[in-house]
Structure 1
Amino acid sequence: MLEILAEAYLNAIDEACLKVEEGRYEAHELEKIVNREEIINRALALILPGESI
């Protein structure tokens, strides 16, 4: 599950860099702004409610 979410995270960062302020940021710049671990943990919590992460 973590591998799938990690891949989805990378895809989301790539997509976001195209959409945020019309491509103002590169993927590596956005990754500095957001917390990858927190995003993946939140996704897991939504997918697997009640299980500790």
Structure 2
Amino acid sequence: MVSNDHVKIPTDGTDVWEIDAKLLKFENKFASGTFGDLYKGTYCSQKVAIKVLKPE
């Protein structure tokens, strides 16, 4: 599901969105809330926001 420069969104009707967490690179935390913390990061050279959920 990953090409050279971006993540390919599935178009076959599936809703499987799991990724290989080893490909995430965390940068700085920029927000925190009731349900978790939000970090800037990259995934396969693409800028992303990464939400880390707090345990229930």
Please indicate, yes or no, whether the TM-score normalized by the shorter chain is above 0.5.
Answer: no
Q: TM-score, normalised by structure 2?
A: 0.20
Larger Cα-atom Rg: 2
Question: Which structure carries more helix by proportion?
Answer: 1
Q: TM-score, normalised by structure 1?
A: 0.21
Question: Which structure carries more strand by proportion?
Answer: 2
